[in-house]
Structure 1
Amino acid sequence: MHLDENLPARYSQVFVSSGVGETAAAVYADRRSQLLQKMDSFGVFAGVPREPGSEEAFTSTWSRFVQDPAFLFLTGVNQPGCYLLLDPLAKDPLRREILFVPPKDASKEFWYGLRIGYSESLDEIRLLTGIKTILPVERFWPLLRELSTSYRGSLQHAYAFCLEFTTQTGDVKRFRGDHNDAFAEKVNAVFSEQGLEFRSLAPLHFDLRVVLDSGRIAAVKKAQEWTRLAFEETLREIPMLHNERQLGLNLDYRMQSLSDGDLAFPTIVAGGRNACCLHYAKKDEPLRKGELVLLDFGIRFGTQHSDISRTVPVSGQFDPLQRLLYQIILDAQEFHQAQVKPGALLKELDLKVWEFIEDALESRFVSLGGHYQLEYELRPHGVSHLIGEQVHEGDPFRCYSEKPLVPGMMI
């Protein structure tokens, strides 16, 4: 059976091909193949159990993307309630990749559109995902127990995806309370029954995911270009806008008009002292002449993100002190870019940038009679983070900052 060119469009709400191209199924299959080559035992992933925002009766997100980025990266399946099993040791090729999906629900499709579901005909799911073996979701836990039992005595460990990482000093850190943590606890109970050691798949997964291939780099460039154009158009409008909300709506409209999807994250617009709150969300105060306004914004193309921060004068002109401080940060940015190269450590690069800023403040401001007071000890935050399938890509503890940068990473 051949892929109907209209099939991805029909399923576009729950299968991501935007930014991946017409060969989406092959791209996802290649990612799974690369991960399978890294694995020495079987492993499992859980998609989100329910759509984010549906945990409470009074909330809903209405966002295009609802899926865990790890699950989305390997399958393209953008709906809740699914599982993925990968087994590099399976003798039968059809058992190396198994996708578990909820039953087909015509009533839900009436409200939310066409969805991936288990039914008598699974050909469309196979064509979309490239996964040949599709099973109903209720088969996941029984099959996991069967598989764990079959490998008892021949394997020492098995994997599940959760955000658990080991630092360079040997400390184990795990993100608690999310759906991956709850899933891992249940999987660990199954493994323990058969004497299998539980291991997190996250380190292997992120080693693959944080290095962008040519297709993802092209998608990132497109997202960056859209974001740049939207910012430049908005910049000309700022002196005519009256408050943070107007500015945010103006920028959001321009980004989303150019793009194919959602914002990368809720746009931050923080005028004056509000900019001291880096993740300021209120966005309802007036813009005052003579003050600066912080903008933190970005857009998606497919599953790739842009993330740009700029601080600009509300009036369109810097005063002398604002210009001095802005130039220090601009020079620090150029210094940082010159230091970035394969093999460098982000942790060390961050320290160098902060030292540059502190030295510049001393030589260009304090030595001339200026005074300032820090509202933090040492450094308040890192200078760079990875970007990719998430705005803040990589492990949440930033263990990656202690590992050498690799060509294809984006910061």
Structure 2
Amino acid sequence: MATKPRSIFEDVSQQEAATPARAKPGAAERASAAARSAIAAWLKILFALVVVMIAVGGLTRLTDSGLSITEWDLVTGAVPPLNAEQWQAEFELYRQIPEYQLQNRGMSLEEFKFIYWWEWGHRQLGRFIGLVWAIGFVWFALRRQIPAGWTPRLLGLGALGGLQGAIGWWMVSSGLEGTMLDVASYRLATHLGLAFVILGLIAWYVMRLGRSEVDLLQARRVREHGLARLGAIMIALVFLQILMGALVAGIDAGRSFTDWPLMAGQIIPDNSFVMEPFLSNFFENAGLVQFNHRILAYIVLIFGVVLWLRARKSALGRVRLAHGWMMLALAVQVVLGIITVLYAAPWQLAIAHQFVAVLLWVAVIRARFSSAYPQAQSVREV
């Protein structure tokens, strides 16, 4: 069938009205950016909750509350004792463990309730974090907003959260038998270490989601490889120091030697290797554990200064700035650590030291990200 010729004066608006509306250019990109932004916001909420969880966990340990609940009931354990009979039953379970028999014998029911509520709150917060993760993941999955390749990453966070709960009980169970008055320090270090792994992954994911995949791909082509490698080493050193800090906290080694830079007037305490078997000194000997924590702190500080000086040579202002913040956090943490030792680790300083460790951890990861994925900047920012 012949097509009627169009006049060059024909009103094109009539034909546009007759044709189906098409998506505007860039609509898919905008939708993808909106989805990435929403997921990043959800992850930031999870990050904040994990930070609070670490602080509550620290206070639970400092108040000797971690062994007050002697069973792990994932569902029914969410309901606290509701009457006098149930409270007495929980108290009787606690009175059977070594911590009560060897340390807290004669504790009243009201004193037990104080430590019980700390541990109960710690566990409920863990359940709440799991719920926030599950609701967020299902929401974004049903709306098909999860970017390609991100489903395994987000599922992995949930799996690590579940593993953290299991490790938490593995940690608590170590203090329920024998002559243990506290949980095993190496299990505490495992528990805290995994919390920081989760924090680190969330922080890295938020940084990635803040930029498009195309932008990240282009940034990889101009990454500062030497600086990125040094940054990876710095991350490993800081993580190892966090584990060492957990060992110190697990046996209250921070209160055993309150002078600095020496320890009881010595470089290394005389009784640093007296325990048998020999390897137990590295986990249970207060002198050696604190000595190792101090020595590693010096190593981290020296390496951090080297990394910072190397970053100052970068042509990118944002890379220099990120490493500057890292160096500031490191300096504050070192000074705070010394003050905490000198004042025998009161709970206020101990929690502050732990919180600054979170800031340092994120600052180190951010610095490494800045060199691994350099961001384009204007001439004024150089």
TM-score, length-scaled by structure 2: 0.28
Q: Which has the higher contact order (CA 8 A, sep 6+)?
A: 2
* Higher-Rg member (1/2): 2
Q: Whose strand fraction is larger, Structure 1's or Structure 2's?
A: 1
Q: Whose helix fraction is larger, Structure 1's or Structure 2's?
A: 2
